[in-house]
Amino acid sequence: MDRETRVFAESHFRGLRGRLPSKVCPSPDRVDFIEKPDSFSYTDFFKGYLLPNVPCVFSSAFTEDWGSRKHWVTPGGKPDFDYLVQSYGDVVVPVANCGVQEYNSNPKEHMPLKDYISYWKEFIQGDYSSPRGCLYLKDWHLCRYSSAEDLFTLPVYFSSDWLNEYWDTLDVDDYRFIYMGPAGTWSPFHADILRSYSWSVNICGRKKWLFFPPGQEEALRDSHGGLPFDVTAPEFLDRHLHRVLEVTQEAGEMVFVPSGWHHQVHNLEDTISINHNWINGCNLANTWRFLQQELCAVQQEVSEWRDTMPDWHHHCQVIMKSCSGINFEEFYHFLKVIAERRLPLMKKIGPGEVQCGEGSGLGPQHTIFDISRIAEVLASVVVNPDFQRVDTSKFSPRPEDLLQQLQEALATTEPLSCAP
């Protein structure tokens, strides 16, 4: 990130302050296709797609050197079952049954990859049908157990990834996944976890994506406020108040999924994909807004026990974490971990670098941008009435102290910032 891009981003977020988010975001007319890596920079992506929060598709030229595209695929463009079984056959993987609805998801079982590959072959031989149903290998955390270096190279456009940076620091979890399944497997209508961004690359095969900009899913809610499981079902065809954006993703192509966009995905062929979820300074406020909405929903659900249940507010946080995977306490810890990794970098930035240099990685300007985004969201967190009920006495540093550190660090850059 260069200085001009940081100033552009700061101006963008200043313009959003104090404004309520629009209930329905306008739908773009089309999804842009990015053809050539050499003529498309990180700044182009940051300004054109990340900040505006709109999808795009990158051509297969961006992934042509990936090891997974060379080793996991036959010369005919199909999954190389023999290689996969030889390399990972004994690894236990999660498998969803696409033909069964369990709440708004699919029930999962676990099996060795070699057993899933055997099922897949039988499914193909049975003319893409099986008494066992339509099974889809989803959310396989291969990178936990195997180096990703030989599989793919993280595109620079997605390298500001706080979510996986946080989990890698804790060495507990990650949001890097492998998906693979036969033609006909699919993922139900959803928005990505914590209103994260995601990217998805087809190692082989083809997918059909149905995109709904934030807010447009509201037209699809039922009388109980629930969202549909399958937006292609006949009962929803006349309820689309806005045009659905449809994208066909070919082998090697890379789809960027913006924050808060509901979508549904169908495999048109036997397909393998690599997918990441990530959060950074551009969608951090979306995540914080989502968490507040999630807590409010929990509080409404258990409101009848508010006056009789001891530590009702604490129990709401516990329930929220079980549903969303994170609560207000862990969100603060997430902010703290990223902040404490940026502040030492801030101290190393010299005046010349602040004014013009890109430096290493995403550069000193990105460090300043990251700290400014954490500071703005943390300032909202510390005054939130529900967060103020969280016991922060053992937090180190205390949230107010961390906010002060961030603000003091930013103050040293103010004389060098340009007003837009």
Average pLDDT over residues 247-254: 99
Which pLDDT score, from 0 to 100, does residue 114 have?
98
What's the CATH code, domain 31-278?
A: 2.60.120.650
Q: Which two tokens stand for residue 23?
A: 């209930």
Which pLDDT score, from 0 to 100, does residue 16 have?
84
Average pLDDT over residues 294-316: 95
Residue 141 scores a pLDDT above 80: yes
Q: Is 417 left (phi over 0), alpha (psi -120 to 50) or beta?
A: beta
Which pLDDT score, from 0 to 100, does residue 415 have?
47
pLDDT tens profile 157-180: 999 999 999 999 988 889 999 999
Average pLDDT over residues 264-291: 98
Residue 20 scores a pLDDT above 60: no
Looking at 25-39, 234-248, 250-264, which range is the least confident one? 234-248
Strands 271-278 and 108-112: unpaired
Please state, rounded to an integer, the average pLDDT across all residues of the chain. Answer: 91
Task: Annotate the chain with three-state secondary structure.
Answer: CCHHHHHHHHHHHHHHCCCCCCCCCCCCCCCEEECCHHHCCHHHHHHHHHCCCCCEEECHHHHCCCHHHHHCECCCCCECHHHHHHHHCCCEEEEEECCCCECCECCEEEEEHHHHHHHHHHHHHCCCCCCCCCEEEEEECHHHHCCCCCCCCCCHHHCCCHHHHHHHHHCCCCCEEEEEECCCCEEEEECCHHHCEEEEEEEECCEEEEEECCCHHHHHCCCCCCCCCCCCCHHHCCCCCCCCEEEEECCCCEEEECCCCEEEEEECCCEEEEEEEECCCCCHHHHHHHHHHHHHHHHHHCHHHCCCCCCHHHHHHHHHHHHHCCCHHHHHHHHHHHHHHHHHHHHCCCHHHHHCCCCCCCCHHHHHHHHHHHHHHHHHHHCCHHHHCCCCCCCCCCHHHHHHHHHHHHHCCHHHCCCC
The pLDDT-based confidence of 261 (bands split at 50, 70, 90) is very high
* C-beta of residue 198 within 8 angstroms of C-beta of residue 157: no
Looking at 10-24, 93-107, 121-135, which range is the least confident one? 10-24
Which pLDDT score, from 0 to 100, does residue 420 have?
41
Average pLDDT over residues 352-370: 68
The pLDDT-based confidence of 320 (bands split at 50, 70, 90) is very high
Residue 35 scores a pLDDT above 70: yes
Looking at 101-105, 222-226, 287-291, which range is the least confident one? 101-105
* C-beta of residue 197 within 8 angstroms of C-beta of residue 246: no
Percent of the chain with pLDDT over 90: 80
Residue 45 scores a pLDDT above 80: yes
